[in-house]
Chains A and B, each alone.
Chain A
């Protein structure tokens, strides 16, 4: 229980409302101002998870969804039922925080490109699992452009990881990207059943064209929703994780050290 109450120190309690507000405000701004098909609405959740641990992260996600749904003046939409997914994202972020994934690892040469190579391999393996989903193997139901799209996404993601690692000379870029991609895959797996069972398999957003195309190719409701999720969630969560990583790296170690998982972020640097 002490581990649990340490996760909810006054500092974490002060952080959570800010993180929840950021989730909602950035989620809204990215969609309406930038008009991009990514959400960025779990950025606060990941922040809290990495700094304060899995339970705090999960609660931040769940509360963000419920507040965005029910708060007078702010509420509306249909995001509420996906609170479980937001909770899972927070849990995972806490896991990555415990493992020190977001810790800076300045590196050169092989200690830089080694992790990048590992991350790229894992990303391509994940993509090939999605690509080779049995449902799509049947030639009568095969939607070739979708599989190509997944492959292109995987290649672009890998290239982005390599560039980021090179620009920042930081091997952590590889691990952060991997954590983001994995979180995205899990998020897609968790939200597809909700979307399929409750909302007729669609989201009301632009990516519904993917759902339509997959169904046209013969896929069932759940797998079409899953296909849509695999397309947007890994990219969104990887971009989100990167933004979190860059911002964390720019904070003074004085501030970071005071959080429950702060030391894992600072690693050998803290005196």
Chain B
């Protein structure tokens, strides 16, 4: 269905702070569109062998990042991949099995061209993926995505599980920090030898799990008491923007990606 950019007249009476959704060149697209884009970018980056796949993804991501004006905020996402990238580059350049095209011999170290190529390709894949995740996360609030997906078939239970998980994590992180502090005051060792640190896991994990599980009982009753298990689709209060053009693009992306991946994996089409 085509949904205009504002909700006026469609869901009357719903306050503005409930019904509003993000605007902007890229961010204003349907969340499902952005999800499909992120998914196809990830699939192409990881499953299309060679240089073409990852490079294409990096170009597309860079373009969308510029349109969405999120360029600078993507930096932390890329920086987070540094340890992995370092490991990929080092281990594959110097220790690529079966490679004989040596670059140089630096003492005991023997880097090879095949290893370097594999390392750079893998690095490109990781960076392309990280960038696609960054653009998605920075332009798509979870609530909007879940509202849209629920309407499209995810259902109230799927929406609830994901939304509740995302909102619970910050509070639970605080509680974990509190438990660790309390246990440290009782002599929990988090700095000492490894086997003592392992013993420290149970005093932290145990209370967290137990309190979380006893809460589940009350949460279950609270949900049932508010008719959560009623049949049918829930009332829609927010309609996220969409258009026939976007729907067409989504289908093309999905089908196209599927074709490209099959072609690459079976070697039907060889690209560098």
Which positions in A face B, CB cutoff 8 Å? Answer: 8, 10-11, 13-18, 20-22, 24-26, 28-30, 33-36, 38, 40, 43, 47, 63-64, 67, 69-78, 80-81, 198-205, 208, 211-212, 215-216, 218-221, 224, 239, 243, 246-247, 250-251, 255, 258
- In whole angstroms, what is the CA distance A232 to B142 when docked? 33
Q: Are B97 and A215 in contact (CB-based, < 8 A)?
A: yes
Q: Tell me the number of A-to-B contacts counted with CB atoms below 8 Å.
A: 194
Q: Which residues of B contact A202 (CB under 8 A)?
A: 84, 87-88, 91-92
Determine how close the nearest CB of chain A comes to the CB of B76; give it in whole angstroms.
Answer: 8
Q: Are A43 and B91 in contact (CB-based, < 8 A)?
A: no
Q: Are B92 and A200 in contact (CB-based, < 8 A)?
A: yes
Q: Which residues of B contact A33 (CB under 8 A)?
A: 180, 190
- Contact status of A11 and B88, CB under 8 A, knowing A24-B169, A72-B138, A75-B133: no
Q: Are B81 and A71 in contact (CB-based, < 8 A)?
A: no
Return the chain B residue nearest A68 by Cβ: B169
B204 touches A (CB below 8 Å): yes
6 tightest A-B CB contacts, nearest first: A204-B84, A200-B122, A17-B164, A17-B165, A215-B95, A20-B165
Q: Are A71 and B133 in contact (CB-based, < 8 A)?
A: no
Q: Are B91 and A67 in contact (CB-based, < 8 A)?
A: no
- In whole angstroms, what is the CA distance A67 to B208 when docked? 20
| 22 cross-chain CB contacts under 8 A | A14-B220, A16-B165, A17-B163, A17-B165, A21-B165, A21-B168, A29-B180, A43-B209, A47-B213, A64-B165, A69-B133, A70-B38, A72-B137, A74-B166, A75-B137, A76-B133, A198-B46, A200-B91, A200-B123, A208-B91, A243-B205, A251-B214
Q: Are A216 and B95 in contact (CB-based, < 8 A)?
A: yes
Give me 9 other A-B pairs in contact (C-beta within 8 A), A17-B163, A72-B138 excluded: A18-B168, A20-B165, A35-B190, A67-B165, A78-B84, A80-B129, A200-B88, A204-B86, A208-B91
- In whole angstroms, what is the CA distance A219 to B214 when docked? 48
B28 touches A (CB below 8 Å): no
Partner of A250, one of B76, B88, B91, B210: B210
Q: Which residues of B contact A64 (CB under 8 A)?
A: 165
Return the chain A residue nearest B166 by Cβ: A71
Determine how close the nearest CB of chain A comes to the CB of B154; give it in whole angstroms.
Answer: 12
Q: Are B209 and A11 in contact (CB-based, < 8 A)?
A: no
Which positions in B face A, CB cutoff 8 Å? Answer: 38, 42, 46, 76-77, 80-81, 83-88, 91-92, 95-98, 118-119, 122-123, 125-126, 129-130, 133, 136-138, 140-142, 157, 160-166, 168-170, 172-173, 176, 180, 190, 194, 197-198, 200-202, 204-206, 208-210, 212-217, 219-220, 223-224, 228-229
Label chain A's interface by main secondary structure: helix
Q: Which residues of B contact A216 (CB under 8 A)?
A: 95
Q: Are B126 and A199 in contact (CB-based, < 8 A)?
A: yes
- In whole angstroms, what is the CA distance A224 to B223 when docked? 48
Q: Which residues of B contact A218 (CB under 8 A)?
A: 97
Q: Are B166 and A67 in contact (CB-based, < 8 A)?
A: yes
Q: Are A25 and B229 in contact (CB-based, < 8 A)?
A: no
Partner of B198, one of A8, A63, A201, A239: A239
Q: Which residues of A contact B215 (CB under 8 A)?
A: 18
Q: Are B165 and A255 in contact (CB-based, < 8 A)?
A: no
- In whole angstroms, what is the CA distance A173 to B137 when docked? 42
Q: Are B162 and A67 in contact (CB-based, < 8 A)?
A: yes
- In whole angstroms, what is the CA distance A211 to B137 when docked? 32
- Contact status of A40 and B205, CB under 8 A, knowing A21-B172, A25-B169: yes
Q: Are A25 and B176 in contact (CB-based, < 8 A)?
A: yes
